[in-house]
Amino acid sequence: MAGTDYRCPHCGAELRGDPRRRGSRPGGTQGCPYDGMAYAALRAGHDAIYFGPWRRIDALPAEILRGYHRIGRHLEVIRATLTGHDFPAAARDLDEAIEALHAADPREDARDALRFMDNALSYAHRAIDDLLRKKGDPPHQPMDFAEWYDVVEVPFREEE
């Protein structure tokens, strides 16, 4: 992964595979908190959805629909990451995420849609953790990055 450059889907910061440069951009300006982490784009993508406006109690239908589509795109990125690799646990969790997302239709019953969308995102998180575990890294903790997002509340959050 060293030398790999791509953009954070949340803040647009350049993400690099060199952990010594984590959190910095060329010129010494503040960078992305995911910089240099394994599967940085998957983590950042997950957290942008996790802390998204669709999860607020007073979320508008358009925000919920946007969240639904963002989850679908995120699952496609996870699928692309898994392509050509033998990660059975991550593949199972991705399949569960896709199944949960298919059960959600925010244009119909919003309450069930939110529950299924949250389930899909949880399974996506598990798939990312499966990938991290395969590398010998600790699991991803979205709350470690909460300060980078406009977070007032995180409904559906399981108590730890």
- pLDDT tens track, the chain, 160 positions: 344 455 565 555 555 544 344 444 455 555 678 878 899 889 989 998 998 889 888 889 999 999 999 999 999 999 999 999 999 999 999 999 999 999 998 887 666 899 999 999 999 999 999 999 999 999 999 988 887 777 655 555 554 4
Quote the strand ranges of 8-138, DSSP E.
Answer: 14-16
Nearest alpha-carbon partner for 142 in 17, 44, 10: 44
Name the residue with tokens 């997302």: 101
Quote the strand ranges of 4-75, DSSP E.
Answer: 5-7, 14-16
Name the residue with tokens 């629909």: 65
Quote the strand ranges of the chain, DSSP E.
Answer: 5-7, 14-16
Q: Where are the chain's structural domains? A: 1-37, 38-148
In contact, 82 and 91? CB cutoff 8 Å:
yes
